[in-house]
Structure 1
Amino acid sequence: MLLLFALSIFIAKTIKVKERHRGLFESMFFNSNTVFVGLPINLAIFGSKSLPYVLVYYMANTTIFWTLGVYLIQKDGETVQKMTLGKIFKKVFSAPLLGFITGVILVILNIKLPNFVMQGASYMGGLTIPLSMIFIGISVHSAGLKNMELSRDSIGVLSGRFLFAPLLMIILVIPSSMPLLMKQVFILQSCMPVMTNAPVVSKLYKADSVFSSIMVTETTIMALIMVPIMMVIITHLS
């Protein structure tokens, strides 16, 4: 993600991204929607065994977004409101991450929860995919399909999400000794749509929230095309 950040600066200067949303452009270039889109897609394709790898990627992604990503968006904004260390801490240690940490502790300590708790957690986990799809649908509708357009800046974000991110991840993980499933999950997670938090943060700092909403919509729709293509590629990994 740090390599993608460096690349985003180069791309932004090369294609002359508009100054009013350059920081937002860079933030969307290297941050993925790892939970609302990435989690249900990986669970649907690889099953529950992919969950630890999904959440490992999520930990890095959410930490970088709520620190470096938010800083870049704030630079574009007109407001002087500051993102304090306490607010960043709360955003990074969100419910999914705290749930993941709790689960890791329970596994390490070999603590067995009562059956009714496990069944309840299983039912709630089963809601992940349908609720995520509803949320994504609301986000796409809110942005409005009529506002979509292919500009120089939007093509730059699309290239970051669906070309440079997976290509760089493939170069990094293929030579490594990590498990095959981990390689596949990381590659798939790297080319997920723009984070749905981007428009919210943009509006908070009075940055270009319209541009970020449009990019959430465009990248989410484009993911419907890219995920099958990436599946063909990663199934040939060994």
Structure 2
Amino acid sequence: MALFGAQSLPYILVYYMANTTFFWTIGVYLIQMDGDANSKFDWKKTIGKILSPPLLGFIIGVILVLLRIKLPSFLMSDFQYVGNLTIPLSMMFIGISMANVNLAKFDLSASNWGILLGRFIISPSLMALLVIPTGMPILMKQVFIMQAAMPVMTNAPIVARKYGADADYASLMVTETTIISLIVLPILMVIVQQIH
């Protein structure tokens, strides 16, 4: 939202819904297979994770808009205050996560390069190939391509630890992709703005 403004929020939430669903189903399953293959995949918990507070808020918001229900102004102002905290709190969380990672382990080994190339080149390129030929609004195309190049999800180390996978490596990749995104995302933003 910081890149495209408030008008991009519906597109961000559409991408978020798809990304969250894939992460908490296929992603968790693959992390579990990489870690303790004997642990049981719990569909009830997975559905609970998919129905996260942001997604539930989005669904409730859509229902309110479709039913043309207006909330009282005091509630709207409270929600706006909470909404304005999103970016600062996200930055604090990312900073704390990065502070907890041992940067001495920061390296660009072959496996790390694979993740970095996949995250910052292959993923946005595939998304561009999928969305550019469509009749989607230009802003939606731009948002989807940028979202595809975002750093590794901060949930990855938590899930990796839960299922006995390499949580330290997952934390390292969150940190590496977050740091490198400070260089890559502005360049990609310039490229994406050329889409007409």
Q: What is the TM-score of this pair, normalised by structure 1?
A: 0.81
Distance in 2 of aligned mates of 1:85 and 1:68: 11
Amino acid at match of 1:108: L
Residue 111 in structure 1 maps to residue 61 in structure 2: no
Aligned CA-pair RMSD:
0.9
What is the alpha-carbon distance in structure 1 between the residues aligned to residue 146 and residue 39 of structure 2?
35
Q: CA separation in 1, counterparts of 2:27 and 2:183?
A: 26
Measure how far apart 1:78 and its partner are: 2.9
Instruction: Provide the residue aligned with 2:122 in structure 1.
Output: 164
Partner residue, 2:143? 185
Asked which structure has the greater RCO (Cα within 8 Å, sep 6+), the reply is: 1
- Mapped pair 1:145 → 2:107: no
Residue number in structure 2 paired with 1:201: 159
Q: Which runs of 5+ in 2 are unaligned?
A: none
Q: Which AA in structure 1 matches 2:101?
A: A
Partner residue of 1:73 out of 31, 49, 52: 31
Quick one: which amino acid aligns to residue 65 of structure 1?
A: F
The Cα of 1:220 is off from its aligned counterpart by 0.4
| Structure-2 separation of matches of 1:79 and 1:69 | 14
Matched letter for residue 186 of structure 1: F
Of residues 15, 32, 48, the one that matches 1:90 is 48
Cα deviations across residues 43-76 of structure 1 (Å, max 9, x unaligned)?
Answer: 2221111011001000000101111111111111
- Equivalent residue in structure 1 for 2:132, among 133, 156, 174: 174
Q: Which amino acid aligns with 1:202?
A: A
User: Percent identity over the alignment?
Assistant: 59
Tell me the TM-score normalised to structure 2 length: 0.97
Establish whether residue 224 from structure 1 lines up as the match of residue 182 from structure 2: yes
Runs of 4+ that moved beyond 3 A? none
Aligned-partner Cα distance in 2 for 1:73–1:84 = 13
CA offsets, 1:109-140, max 9 Å, x none?
Answer: 01000000000000110001100000000111
1:210 CA drift (Å): 1.2
Q: Deviations over 1:9-43 (max 9, x none)?
A: xxxxxxxxxxxxxxxxxxxxxxxxxxxxxxxxxx2
Match of residue 101, structure 1, among 50, 55, 59: 59
Partner of 2:87: helix, strand, or coil? helix
Shift in Å, 1:79: 6.2
Give the counterpart letter for 1:187 in structure 2.
Answer: I
How many matched pairs? 196
Distance 1:229 1:144 in 2: 28
Alpha-carbon separation, structure 1, partners of 2:84 and 2:107: 35
Out of 162, 170, 194, the position equivalent to 1:212 is 170
The residue aligned with 1:120 is 78
> What is the Cα deviation at residue 81 of structure 1?
2.7
Gaps of 5+ in 1: 1-42
Give the AA of the match of 2:169.
F
Q: Distance in 2 between matches of 1:74 and 1:233?
A: 36
CA distance, structure 2, for counterparts of residue 67 and residue 78 of structure 1: 16
Alpha-carbon distance in 1 for matches of 2:24, 2:65: 28
